[in-house]
Amino acid sequence: EVQLVESGGGLVQAGGSLRLSCVTSGFDIDDYVIGWIRQAPGKEREAVSSISCSNGRTYYADSVKERFIILRDNAKNTVYLQMNSLKPEDTSVYYCAADYTGPGGGSWLLSGQIPYMNYWGKGIQVTVSS
């Protein structure tokens, strides 16, 4: 029943933009922090950005600040990651994941740490060429 479906990835030249979407179903995102986590071969897993779907608090990794923007549309059960000024080092598989918080809305994901996640998407490839 629970699904997190990523879309919008692909191949783009350095300096370009992509907009990733995470369309969810089967649970109420109002009770979760939704994050985008990337994993590339030979690199450590990195929490790129996250947003509380209850209070709107956000987190951005230093590596993507001022380039990426995370957005939510609770009515559409969807979280977006607008990726601008892309660099080759952004090449990775990007995963959408959900961390249950309840009404309080707190999660270690909002400080850049990756906790146990209740739900994961399948991941989507983003490749940035130079």
Q: What is the pLDDT along the chain (130 residues), one digit of tens a residue?
A: 899 999 999 999 999 999 999 999 999 999 999 999 999 999 999 999 999 999 999 999 999 999 999 999 999 999 999 999 999 999 999 999 999 998 777 888 999 999 889 999 999 999 999 9
Total length of the chain = 130
pLDDT for position 122:
98
Instruction: Answer for the pair 101, 107: CB distance below 8 angstroms, yes or no.
Output: yes
Greatest extent of the chain over all pairs of C-alpha atoms, in Å = 44
pLDDT for position 125:
98
pLDDT for position 13:
98
- Three-state DSSP class for residue 102: helix
pLDDT for position 105:
75
Of the CA atoms within 13 Å of residue 8, those in its CB half-sphere come to 18
